[in-house]
Amino acid sequence: MLHLIDSHCHLDFNDFDADRQTILTNCLQSGIEKIVIPGVTVNSWPKQIELCNSNPMLSLALGCHPMFMEEHPENAAQLLDQAVHQYQPIAIGEIGLDFYVADADMSAQLSLFEAQLDVAVKFALPVILHVRKAHDEVLKLLRQKQLPGGTVHAFSGSAQQAEQYRDLNFLLGIGGALTYPRAQRLQRLFAELPLSQIVLETDAPDMPLCGHQGQRNTPENIPVILQKLSQLRGESSDHIAEITTANCRRLFSI
């Protein structure tokens, strides 16, 4: 059987309240052994913590997402520090910069991002990054911090940026976007990247597979993403599963 990890899945979201246990059972049966659940807002943390404490399949990450700035309290980084000390997550995330939206408050995002990076440095934890239209800014900040590494979730940057992340011990997450025929640049990139830098993810319930637009995504789709990556790279699913899972386990110590 394959041994797989979903490195980025919001299984705590209300979208899964009706059938979460069924999904987890299906995941186990298809070889998905671990699911990393990143935080989005301070208010999301209690449910995440409860879920991860109740099931050894689930791994906890805590952080404040850059797209929800209006929901983060002024002392968010201080609350994160306290929560990390108390609940011992495997990573700080989902954190980062999102300059995709025209009216994004860049300075507020930068301030919160740096404060959360400092928490990661303090506790020597990897980070789970959300980056849109801001790779250069993120890389600049990462170079200033002594981090153990991390993941760049749903990476869609350039080969040069991928190499710069690799130099900082960052893995690149790939999910449903790979299954879209129009995603040729992304497909070429992940066909050529070192397998040692790749991790699989769904970002469920978001980022559905091609042909399932508008539907709920689930971590059960990890094998579909694996199959697509295998086809693109001309490497066996077994080999890709082995390496990407080892990458994830090594980074997150899970």
Q: What is the CATH number of the domain that holds 239?
A: 3.20.20.140
95-127 pLDDT, tens per residue?
A: 999 999 888 899 999 999 999 999 999 999 999
Q: Does 163 count as an annotated binding residue?
A: no
Q: What's the pLDDT band for 33 if we cut at 50, 70, 90?
A: very high
| Domain, as residue range, for 158 | 4-252
Residue 16 has pLDDT above 90, yes or no: yes
pLDDT of residue 138: 98
User: How many domains does the chain divide into?
Assistant: 1
Q: Judge whether 203 is annotated as a binding position.
A: yes
* Cα distance between residue 98 and residue 7, in whole Å: 20
130 is in an annotated binding site: yes
135 annotated ligand-binding residue: no
The rounded distance, in Å, linking the Cα atoms of 191 and 212 is 23
Interatomic CA distance for residues 87 and 238, integer angstroms: 34
Q: How far apart are the first and last CA of the chain?
A: 19
pLDDT at 145: 98
pLDDT tens-digit series, residues 42-69: 999 999 999 999 999 999 999 999 999 9
